Chains A and B, each alone.
Chain A
Amino acid sequence: MSTTLVWSTIAIYIVIALIIAYLSRNGRQNSMSGYFLGERKLNGFVSALSYSATTYSAFMLVGLAGLTYNGGVGALGFEIIYFMGVSLVAIFGPRFWLVGKKYGYVTPSEMLGDRYQNKGVAVVAAVASSLFLIPYSAVQLTGIGYLLQGVTNDAIPYTTGVIIATVLALIFSYIAGIRSVVWTDSLQSLIMIITSTIVVILIVNSLGGVSGFFASIEANDPQALAVPGNGFFNFWTFLGLTIPWFFFSISNPQVSQRLFMPASLKSLRHMLLGFLVFGLIYTVVSVVWGFSASILFPGLENADLATPMLLSSDVVPPILGVIVMVGIMAAAISTIDSILLTLSSLFSRDVYRHVKGGADDRKQLLIGKIVIPVIAVLAFLFAQLELDLIAVLSVASSAGLIVVVPAIIGTFFWKRGTAAGVIISVTTSSILVIYIEATGGLLLGLKSGIWGIVVSTALFIVVSVTTQPPEQKANEFIDYVKERMKHKK
């Protein structure tokens, strides 16, 4: 791929994104809910596109395509189980939204802290999120570095790619907080879905259309169309991979915080349905992409190279290839900038405010803005160092964040849940997940995510029933939600 073409496309992308970020600066940004939640007034369309961009990182066209390359159709199943899990938004979304408005929550961990009437709960949930999400961002940055280096044959060195991505993520989250993030996200996801779909159509056509495409897979490796197929997706691996992702929409704060933002439940609905349409198309595109690579370039040692190979091949016109490549870079950036923003709000709202009692809204916002670049630099340094521990924490992130799920379910559906139950279940199971990931990823043959959900649920229940719940708050909170939801039939 020509370096000049890559650089010019990156330059065009940066200019357009900066203009959009700049234009998004309407409304007040001088309050926590203004800066981090867009004053809870986001419309459904941008919410849907931005939700998609935040959820779908560079993982899809690199990682998921790679999983398909290695393990076949099981990769589709894996992503579809995640997709089904987004239905949790239909149950939890209106509840988050209602209490967010009533009690003025800015972060999901703030909600947990208030509901269980314990500052420690908010701090623990916020710290656990940062522990997994900063390394996750670092690995996204690493991915961009390698991708740019790979497709340009080292003309754009690893560090340059990482610096470009870090600086852009920082700028997009800084210009207007969540507003600049959602608008640049929307640009990214629109371009990505259109160009990657065109590329896949071109590739499938070159393989003789849909029937030719499937015939090629059957001729090449028939096992790829079934699970467990070649054994890559044996049932327990599949279960271990899918369980954490099933709960992703409520366990990961950078997406669950989005449930506070839509202007109305109707906007929330548009966000959910819009995302599902986007997600289904993008999932099929990424899986077909991976299959195509396995037909065209069988025998690659590293499946993550499948996408760079495909983009540089003769089947894809260079200009489209380069747009998709920059789109993958933008996809990683759009995930990182949301995480940056969420983590800084977690820090200022749930850690700083409680440690430094009495910090008002303006002070929290100031601290939040100071923390954004600090987290960006941390992620950058982690990406540079490429420590083993960082890779472990990143892999552990989806499984690690699952440990907060019982506490979130309890928030809305179980009056007996207690602060001690949350703190003990979250801390103990986080440590267990990290331990399992650091010692090979399996305990008694099961993956860390399965242990995470089972152990955190058991601990949350056992500790809760032996401790005193915050009865008054629990009754008020749950009864309010129940009453409001009843009116929706």
Chain B
Amino acid sequence: MNQKEKFWGLIILIIVILGYVIPYAFLSDVTKWYGSFLIWSILAIITFVANFFLTTDWSDEE
């Protein structure tokens, strides 16, 4: 994997782990919209951003 892939790949890996840890370890008693619902939505948006930057230099060469 090249440098860019390693960097963003690591970010995505951390996001995935947070997707398991935060809701189960810290938010299991927060029964509000700003609990797990919000955190998963935010992590999903960060995933999109990571994919956006990871793929910026993909060329249109056929």
Taking Cβ atoms with an 8 Å cutoff, the residues of A that contact B are: 41, 73-74, 76-77, 80-81, 83-87, 90-91, 94, 214, 218, 222-228, 235, 238-239, 242, 246, 263-269, 272-273, 276-277, 280, 283-284, 485-486, 488-489
Query: If A73-B37, A91-B1, A276-B51 touch, does A269 touch B58 (CB 8 Å cutoff)?
Result: yes
Which of the listed residues B47, B58, B59 has the most CB atoms from chain A within 10 Å of its own CB? B58
State the Cβ distance, A85 to closest chain B Cβ, in Å: 8
- Given contact pairs A84-B15, A228-B28, A239-B20, A264 touches B43 in the complex (Cβ within 8 A): no
CA distance A169 to B9 in the complex (A): 37
Residues in B neighbouring A283, C-beta threshold 8 A = 44
Query: Separation in Å of the B29 CB from the closest CB of chain A?
Result: 7
Given the interface pairs A226-B36, A227-B28, A265-B61, the reply to whether A276 lies near B54 with Cβ below 8 Å is no
A1 to B54, CA, bound (A): 47
Interface contacts (Cβ under 8 Å), in number, total 129
> Which range contains the number of B residues in contact with the other chain?
35 or more
A273 touches B44 (CB 8 A): no
Q: Is the CB of A264 within 8 A of B60?
A: yes
Name B37's contact: one of A76, A86, A239, A280 (CB within 8 Å): A76
Contact A265 B60 (CB under 8 A): yes
Residues of B within 8 A of A77 (CB): 19, 23, 36, 40
**Are B55 and A90 in contact (CB-based, < 8 A)?**
yes
Partner of B32, one of A214, A239, A268: A214
A contact residues around B60 at 8 Å (CB): 264-267
Cross-chain pairs A/B with CB under 8 angstroms, 11 sampled? A41-B62, A80-B40, A84-B15, A91-B5, A225-B36, A265-B61, A273-B51, A280-B48, A488-B2, A489-B3, A489-B4
Query: In the complex, A280→B16 CA distance in Å?
Result: 16
Residues of B within 8 A of A94 (CB): 58
Interface-central residue, B31, B54, B59, B61, by most chain A CB under 10 Å: B31
B48 neighbours in A (Cβ, 8 Å)? 273, 276-277, 280
When A83-B47, A214-B32, A225-B33 are in contact, do A265 and B59 touch as well, CB less than 8 Å?
A: yes
Q: Which of B19-55 contact A (CB under 8 A)?
A: 19-20, 23-24, 27-33, 35-37, 40-41, 43-45, 47-48, 50-52, 54-55
